[in-house]
Amino acid sequence: MSSIRFFVAGIPQSAGSKRAFAIRKGGILTGRVAVSDANPKAKSWKNAVASRAAEVLQGSPIITGPIRLTIEFRLPRPKGHYGTGKNAGKLRESCPKYPTARPDSTKLLRCAEDAMTEIAWADDAQIVEQLVIKTYSDKPGAWIEIEELL
């Protein structure tokens, strides 16, 4: 595989901050720690990305070399960007062109990278070049392009 591009439908979610919890057994600390994402919606988005990547990459070996990753996250516009009454469905002139509010692009990227680890590549440390784009769209999701650098 030298390059592959695919779309994952759905509302992109950020991995959020990580939370760590000490594991107890019978009220006694075991010395182990569990780590989870702070965003509860991240799990379903991660599963969607992983499933789509596995479907598209079916039969391809996991990449073990350097990778260029490009992801365009397409986010839905907030309802406040649209007019009301007779202007319902029309964008307000004052609405921003780009999504500069949360979620931030690095946390969106981290969630997608984690989802594709061990499906597309062995470790996300292999990503040596990346481009992340956040845009608004009425068809939310993410366009993902994975290119193996030879």
Q: Which domain holds residue 18?
A: 3-148
Q: What is the pLDDT of residue 17?
A: 66
Strand order in the sheet with 141-148: 3-9, 141-148, 67-75, 127-136
Q: What is the pLDDT of residue 38?
A: 66
Element of type H or E holding 150 = none
The pairing of beta strand 127-136 with beta strand 141-148: unpaired
Q: What is the pLDDT of residue 33?
A: 75
Q: What is the pLDDT of residue 144?
A: 98
Count of structural domains, the chain: 1
Specify whether the CB–CB gap between 53 and 116 falls below 8 A.
Answer: yes
Q: What CATH code is carried by the domain that includes residue 52?
A: 3.30.1330.70
Q: What is the pLDDT of residue 50?
A: 97
Tens of pLDDT, residue by residue over 104-122, are 999 999 999 999 999 999 9
Tokens of 133: 């784009």
Q: What is the pLDDT of residue 111?
A: 95
Q: What is the pLDDT of residue 18?
A: 66
Q: What is the pLDDT of residue 24?
A: 84
Residues of the chain below pLDDT 50: none
Q: What is the pLDDT of residue 9?
A: 98
